[in-house]
Amino acid sequence: MNRLRIPLTAAFLLSIAAYSAFAQQYAQPGKFDLYLFTLSWSPQFCATATRDTAECHITNGNFVVHGLWPEFKNGSWPSSCSHAPGPSDPTLVADLMPDPSLVSHEWYTHGTCSALGVDGYFGLMRTVKKSVVIPQVFQQLSRTTWMAPSEIKARFTASNPEIQPEDMRIGCAGNNLVQVQICIAKNGKSTPCGTIRDCRASQIKVLPVLTPAQ
């Protein structure tokens, strides 16, 4: 089951309640197969968000980094592997995540399982972000559009020749685009996702990018 972007407090409570047993058994820093580099489609998140977040007030908001998640190829994942403190100043990673509460949540839930430490974890996240080119269509989308998940992958692979369709997963909910995920090996390069679940809808709705007026 892939994690979808829902308001942070609810996501945190769900992750603790639903996955605590799994985390207790397997949550060992560094023990996982790959990372899921997850790009949240901000227009969809902000259409349903109940909180006033920095993400929902950025100019021409399209994809925003949601996280870099240690993952097993069978679709399970470790969670909350230690109580190591997160960034002392979350604003130093605002270029990755504009919401400080998301920075804290992502470090505690996922970053502690990376075995990279704070600087290494967010450093790898920044490196991966810089390596991924957002297709032009998603930077300038001015109206609601319907796309097949395979088309979204094709747009990304055309802009990123080093990424293959099998290296990607599309996150959808209610036939809406929620997120795009790229499977990343521990060396920072894209890698096949294995059996990690993909969106099964034939067509999904892609809301237009955010503007200051929205």
Nearest Cα residue to 120 out of 91, 163, 84, 168: 84
Question: Is residue 188 domain-resident?
Answer: yes
pLDDT score for 10: 45
Spell out the residues 6+ positions from residue 92 whose beta carbon is closer than 8 angstroms to its own: none
Question: Is residue 1 domain-resident?
Answer: no
* Phi and psi angles of residue 170, each rounded to the nearest 5 degrees, phi first: -105, 130
pLDDT score for 111: 97
3-class SS shares of the chain: helix, strand, coil, % to 5: 35, 20, 45
CATH number at residue 76: 3.90.730.10
Chain centroid, CA 40 distance in Å: 5
Number of domains, the chain: 1
Indicate the pLDDT class of residue 50, thresholds 50, 70 and 90: low
Question: Is residue 130 domain-resident?
Answer: yes
Question: Is residue 104 domain-resident?
Answer: yes
Question: Is residue 120 domain-resident?
Answer: yes
Indicate the pLDDT class of residue 14, thresholds 50, 70 and 90: very low
Q: What are 54-70's pLDDT values in tens digits?
A: 778 765 679 999 999 99
Catalytic positions are: 66, 106, 110
Q: What is the DSSP string of 136-198?
A: HHHHS--S-EEE-HHHHHHHHHHH-TT--GGGEEEEEETTEEEEEEEEE-TTSSB---TT---
Q: What are 89-137's pLDDT values in tens digits?
A: 999 999 898 888 899 999 999 999 999 999 999 999 999 999 999 999 9
Question: Is residue 55 domain-resident?
Answer: yes
pLDDT score for 23: 41
- Which tokens belong to 52? 């006033």
Question: Is residue 212 domain-resident?
Answer: no
Q: What are 89-100's pLDDT values in tens digits?
A: 999 999 898 888
Tell the residue number behind the tokens 């990755």, with chain if given: 96
Domain residue limits at 47: 8-206
Residue 95, SS3? coil
Residue 21: pLDDT above 50?
no
Question: Is residue 41 domain-resident?
Answer: yes
Indicate the pLDDT class of residue 49, thresholds 50, 70 and 90: confident
